[in-house]
Amino acid sequence: MRTYHQLTDPDRSGLADQIEAQRRRVAGQLAGVKRIVAVMSGKGGVGKSFVTAHLARSLARRGGGAGKEGGEGGEGRAVGVLDADLNGPTIPALLQARAAAAPPAIGLDGVKCVSMGHFLAEGTPLEFHGPSAESFVWRGAMEASALRELLGDVAWGDLDILLLDLPPGIQRYLELCDILGAPPAVLTVTIPTPESRDAVRRAMRAALERGSELLGIIENMVGGELRGSAGDELAAEFGVPLVARIPWHPAREVWDTLALPLTPAPRTPHPAP
């Protein structure tokens, strides 16, 4: 009896073609995005969303990009944020971005953002219609598809940078690699503790193995009760810069003076839509 690959007639369902069409759609919507950076950490509660939101606002306030006004060195960089934390979206609150009828929403300092939080009623968890029994079988795929839509069904327009605010762990990162067709550059957030160091190390190794460019590490919540030197240790281990130590209650200047390595080689272009 012949096997699957020996049956060469086209499948009328064209499932592979449908998946490819989804990828082309994402690529088309991101065609005007110069740089995609995932903000990730293997550890929860380190302030990824906080860092992402303030980083986005800081970049939007600075000149030197294509600019929201469209000119080189214009009013500021055009910045977008995708809140990839579907189950705990906080970016709309951090950017004070109300839902827009036609996403993306516009938040503080003109940062564009898209979030599942714009679709959910306040205080309600993300739930999908469907059979409740053994929902673990399909829920992951459903979340990945929802993430694809939040990324690829949005008119992002021309952006200097799109930040992806990832939830803890590496699952969402892996999904984004598939959706984007290429691994995004990664900026890692940790807190000083050894526990955080160990969890973040795993995530950085996963990103490295997948082919992501590691841009650097931001050590958050520095100077309080949290003891350790996770930022320095990870920076030395991976040979990447420790971009910043962010204290508790940082002033605006902390963000505006970050020397961010965000403009090296452009990301691998998507296949033409």
Partner 1 sequence: MKFLCVECDQQMAFAERQLPGDGTLAATFKCPKCGRVVAMLTNPMETQLVSSLGVEIGGRTVPAERFEIVSAMVKTTGPAWSADAEERLSRVPTFVRGMVKKIYGDYAKERGITEITPAVMDTARAELGLEGM
Query: Which residue ranges make up the site for partner 1 (CB under 8 A)?
Result: 1-2, 4, 7-9, 11-15, 18-19, 21-22, 98-103, 116, 118-122, 124, 126-131, 133-134, 137-139, 141-142, 144-146, 148-150, 153
**Stretch (H or E) spanning 217:** strand 214-222
Question: Which C-beta is closer to partner 1: that of 146 or that of 208?
Answer: 146
CB of 250 to partner 1, least distance (A): 30
Query: Under DSSP, is residue 201 helix (H, G, I), strand (E, B) or coil?
Result: helix
- Burial category of 12 from C-beta neighbours within 10 Å (exposed 0-12, middle 13-18, buried 19 and up): exposed
Give burial (CB, 10 Å; 0-12/13-18/19+) of 158. middle
Q: How far is the CB of 142 from partner 1 (least distance, A)?
A: 4
Cβ proximity to partner 1, 121 vs 259, nearer residue: 121
Say which residues have a Cβ less than 8 Å from residue 263's Cβ, sequence separation at least 6. Answer: 35
Two tokens, residue 132: 């409740």
Nearer to partner 1, 118 or 267 (CB): 118
Measured from the CB atom, is 9 or 72 closer to partner 1?
9
Whose Cβ is closer to partner 1: residue 9's or residue 225's? Answer: 9
Q: How far is the CB of 104 from partner 1 (least distance, A)?
A: 11
- CB of residue 144 vs partner 1: minimum separation in angstroms? 8
* Cα-based distances in Å from 194 to 19, 46, 82, 229, 230: 41, 13, 29, 7, 6
Smallest gap from Cβ 16 to partner 1, in A, equals 9
